[in-house]
Structure 1
């Protein structure tokens, strides 16, 4: 297996390589620009975003939090729950559930099992659920359907295989919000640890159901996918505007320092950490730690670390040192994950190596809702200043 671990399919010229002098974003981001001091547009834009957010003021943040809690509580009267909290087994979602419960709300915790949960994730979920005494709904995806979809995405050579999980996860949360007539999904996301813009080409439009079905139709072996939950762009807009369901980055409303939050969860609830963001899933760990850097020359640690650097939660020197290592806890775990992936996907080592060596393909090579989204986004940006002025 050594050739699988050591091989790389890089797409940038070493002569043109440059890394930001403030964060650790580099020229693997296609649209990166540097000023005369070697500072990139990514950290500059993110820093500006942080200063313009009304929730950056602690007093305003507390005021907005109290308003949000009151709205959630009022909307949930007479219902078994008043909000949905997605739970992955990672620190962000666990801390969100903790704070929501502390504020006196009645959340339904929702987890989606796509067959790739790590044992550590399962233990963390059970630990926090039992410790907080909240109900948990787990949606288990049909593995044979999901594997066929994943295989189709691998055969298509598109970059965002995680589009499948991300879209289905949102669909499950919105479906449950509809079932219980709830209007608030409180997500474990925030600008302080993940607000830096994703470089173009590093992922794909997450509501592109048309792209999912086009790829499955072209490469899938199953004639129909019957149980896989999906959320199209049009349904997403209807749920947000028609049903009034809000997907809220809850951690923007509280003081959130990720290392401190992790330490508290570990001490009070026996929560066990992961080395990098989203590594609670075995596939996400393998995808971000092996497939992305090897096949697409994308190391998402740069984006995650840079966000933490600019928000004051990580030293640049620490990030540079960590980036010198492979994006895995250690080589042994990587080897184990390769073997697990091969067995679970019914692949062999040569098949994985062939996949890594093939060039990537654009999602736009297949039918897509992305052009519709871009058009809607332009229209919304055009009319937003007008509607704001009329208020």
Structure 2
């Protein structure tokens, strides 16, 4: 197993590329993002100017931005930062897909109440969303969590249009979380709809899945932008957790993205067992690059298998309404990837230079081009083909 000389990403990343020094392409993406998102006074000034711009553009609106909230560390701290530091008037938005932990629900309620922020919750029809999640399990790709991610994204954009808000504020920090390899996670509307047509039985009505063309309309015609303030901060999750515990009564759900029971199952059991994917490598690699921990400390942590909560697999199977035999078939079926389904990826590749310009203009987050600007489909196909032969 070859491993990056700088971080802990390795050959379990299908599209990983090493330079002559053994450093991976995701370390290089991290360095490019450092140049794009300065810290310190320069980063503060950028955010101050942006907040003033947002206020001016939204003077006649009830809300001047939209913030997605999940009850986890990042989104809770982001909401605090937007209200207390940037002095903005956000609308907090949550997508309820039926998998919220009790702690997540309490965290969202406490944060919005104590900050005096309105909360909009989009509730999915459980039978519809369950059917879509089962479809992605049957599709046998590492993207079984994509439906949730993309629907959240779609809800935010649709609500921004409805409320005439020009800014969606996201809580991602590449310094703390890293960049997810495309061979581990890929999402677009055509992909989701194709998987649902192949394996699903229900028509989706209760939640949106916006098309690429609708997204382009929102971006270039409606001029709705996505902003990531945490990218400009020397963001520390432990310090953020201390603050939101003290100020907002926040409780720890027990791990990164574990505010969702399904995500906890997905990251701790499903990905490692079926695909040999351990997403801790992404986060630990980010911390190494940011000087938060040493490479040796990260390697030591990875020697211990991702902890799986007792009973969580049985709980998920039962909640999804599938039999143990069906689940065994899912776990043992041939591994595939987004390359095996209809997606917008070839179209994204065709328009990669206009996308590059849009990223430079901050119409899209810069990571969109850095991540999707290279065609990795051949490497991904070859990787999973070899994986299936083991």
TM-score normalized with structure 2 length: 0.86
> Which residue pairs with 1:43 in the alignment?
27
Structure 2 Cα separation of the partners of residues 271 and 25 of structure 1: 32
Q: CA deviation at 1:57?
A: 4.2
Per-residue Cα deviation, 1:85-104 (whole angstroms, up to 9, x for no partner): 11011111111100111122
Q: CA deviation at 1:380?
A: 3.9
In structure 2, relative to structure 1, the CA distance for the partners of 1:274 and 1:324 (3 Å cut) is farther
- 2:39 touches 2:233 (CA, 8 Å); kept in 1? no
- 1:20 touches 1:26 (CA, 8 Å); kept in 2? yes
Q: How does 1:1-391 map to 2 (within 5 A)?
A: 17-34=1-18, 38-50=22-34, 52-53=35-36, 55-102=37-84, 103-196=86-179, 198-204=180-186, 206=187, 208-222=188-202, 224-328=203-307, 331=308, 333=309, 335-381=310-356
Q: CA deviation at 1:127?
A: 1.7
Give the 3-state SS of the residue equivalent to 2:168 in structure 1.
Answer: strand
Larger radius of gyration: 1
Structure 2 Cα separation of the partners of residues 239 and 262 of structure 1: 34
- Unaligned runs of 5+ residues in structure 2 are 361-390
Structure 2 Cα separation of the partners of residues 43 and 384 of structure 1: 20
Q: Size of the alignment, in residue pairs? A: 359
Per-residue Cα deviation, 1:106-162 (whole angstroms, up to 9, x for no partner): 111001010111111111111211221211111111111111111222222122122
Per-residue Cα deviation, 1:308-345 (whole angstroms, up to 9, x for no partner): 121122333332232222323xx5x2x32112101111
Give the 3-state SS of the residue equivalent to 2:92 in structure 1.
Answer: strand
Per-residue Cα deviation, 1:283-318 (whole angstroms, up to 9, x for no partner): 111111111111111111101110112112233333
TM-score normalized with structure 1 length: 0.86
- 2:15 touches 2:183 (CA, 8 Å); kept in 1? no
Q: CA deviation at 1:235?
A: 1.0
Q: CA deviation at 1:72?
A: 1.1
More off after superposition, 35-44 vs 259-268: 35-44
- 1:82 touches 1:182 (CA, 8 Å); kept in 2? yes
Give the 3-state SS of the residue equivalent to 2:311 in structure 1.
Answer: helix
Q: CA deviation at 1:32?
A: 2.9
- 2:12 touches 2:276 (CA, 8 Å); kept in 1? yes
- 2:104 touches 2:260 (CA, 8 Å); kept in 1? yes
Q: CA deviation at 1:76?
A: 1.7
RMSD: 2.1
